[in-house]
Amino acid sequence: MLARVDPKMHIMAKRIFMFFLVLVLATACKTVPFTGRKQLNFMPNSQLFPMAFAQYEKFLKEHQLSSNQQDARRVKQVGHRIVDALNRYLRKHHREDYVKDYKWEFNLVKDPQKNAWCMPGGKVVVYEGIMDVCQNDAGLATVMGHEISHALANHGGERMSQGLIQQLGAIGVNVATQNKTEKERILWMTAYGLGSQVGVLLPFSRKQESEADEIGLLLMTMAGYDPNEALKFWERMEKMAGGAAPPEILSTHPAHKTRIANIRRLIPIVKKKAAKYK
Ligand SMILES: [Zn+2]
């Protein structure tokens, strides 16, 4: 004989489930520092960063570093200047703890792609192919500031959280991330914009893009680079996108006209803001 579920128990179970769902969502709703936007993110750094560091190590083993020592040095210099500016910003807001688990690293990789990315925890890769578009250190600071800002604003964790909500439901998250299956690995890679390497592409949302532009622009300006160069950089990128094969970075970075108009609007604002952090 099968045991019948008491309908009252059933309702109770539903209520408990809802209670935990609300609890998960409430604790998962975080505020992006720098912009104050609320985001859904229940991926803790303690879980994400070790995965990111391991993936970065793996990437560097499988890819050749650039033999152009001068450019490789520039990538590191610009990266450190941006991080110095970031630390200044956080100190002023008494939020130094925000990056305490970050392990910054900046590498130039031998690859003709016009691309760059930053993994959670501050692991940056710039591809040789984008150096021509950057033209100068301010152009490089535009790209690196933008990618670093995606990581700082936890855009990957946010997308992963949204993806997991859709796929598994909030309750399943812990179970799902404990077993690092191939499917989960692909989801993770996709969430961090490395999708092209596993055959799936999931673009950052327009909101995340303009947020990364805004934070990146502030950081590069605070680091002493001319924000007008960001405008010139994206205009060069747009010109290249007109060709038959759009640059790699654009496949995850949509809406050029909107971006350029937005950056033009932001330049005087970030200049004013950056002056307060001198
Ligand atoms: Zn982006």
Q: Reply yes or no on whether 147 is catalytic.
A: yes
For residue 190, give both structure tokens: 């996709």
Dist CA 154 CA 42 (whole Å): 10
188 Cβ neighbours under 8 A, 6+ residues apart: 51, 55, 160
**Is 88 or 204 the better-scoring residue by pLDDT?**
88
In this prediction, residues 18-35 reach a mean pLDDT of 65
Distance 271 CA to ligand 1 centre (A): 21
Distance 219 CA to ligand 1 centre (A): 15
| Angle in degrees, CA 139, 119, 249, rounded to 5 | 45
Q: Name the amino acid, one letter, at 139.
A: G
The predicted pLDDT at position 255 comes to 63
Per the DSSP assignment, residues forming a β-bridge with 126 are 108, 116
The predicted pLDDT at position 183 comes to 63
Distance 120 CA to ligand 1 centre (A): 14
For residue 224, give both structure tokens: 């002493």
Q: Name the amino acid, one letter, at 226.
A: D
205 Cβ neighbours under 8 A, 6+ residues apart: 159
Distance 73 CA to ligand 1 centre (A): 23
The predicted pLDDT at position 7 comes to 60
Dist CA 20 CA 95 (whole Å): 30
Domain ranges of the chain: 43-275
CB 125 within 8 A of CB 107: yes
Distance 210 CA to ligand 1 centre (A): 8
The predicted pLDDT at position 30 comes to 76
- Residue-wise pLDDT for 198-239, tens only, equals 333 355 777 888 899 999 999 999 999 999 999 999 989 888
Catalytic residue (choose from 105, 128, 147, 158): 147
Confidence label for 36 from pLDDT (cuts 50, 70 and 90): confident
| Residue with token string 């350029």 | 260
Question: Which one, of 125, 4, 121, 6, lies nearest residue 52 by Cα?
Answer: 121
pTM: 0.77
CB 193 within 8 A of CB 248: no
| Angle in degrees, CA 132, 136, 137, rounded to 5 | 120
For residue 122, give both structure tokens: 């501050």
Q: Residue 252: helix, strand or coil by DSSP?
A: coil
pLDDT at 259 over 90: no
Chain centroid to Cα 249, Å, comes to 13
CB 143 within 8 A of CB 130: yes
The predicted pLDDT at position 1 comes to 43
- Residue-wise pLDDT for 174-200, tens only, equals 444 555 566 665 565 555 444 333 333
- Residue-wise pLDDT for 53-64, tens only, equals 998 999 999 999
Distance 255 CA to ligand 1 centre (A): 11
Neighbours of ion ligand 1 (CB under 5 A): 212, 253
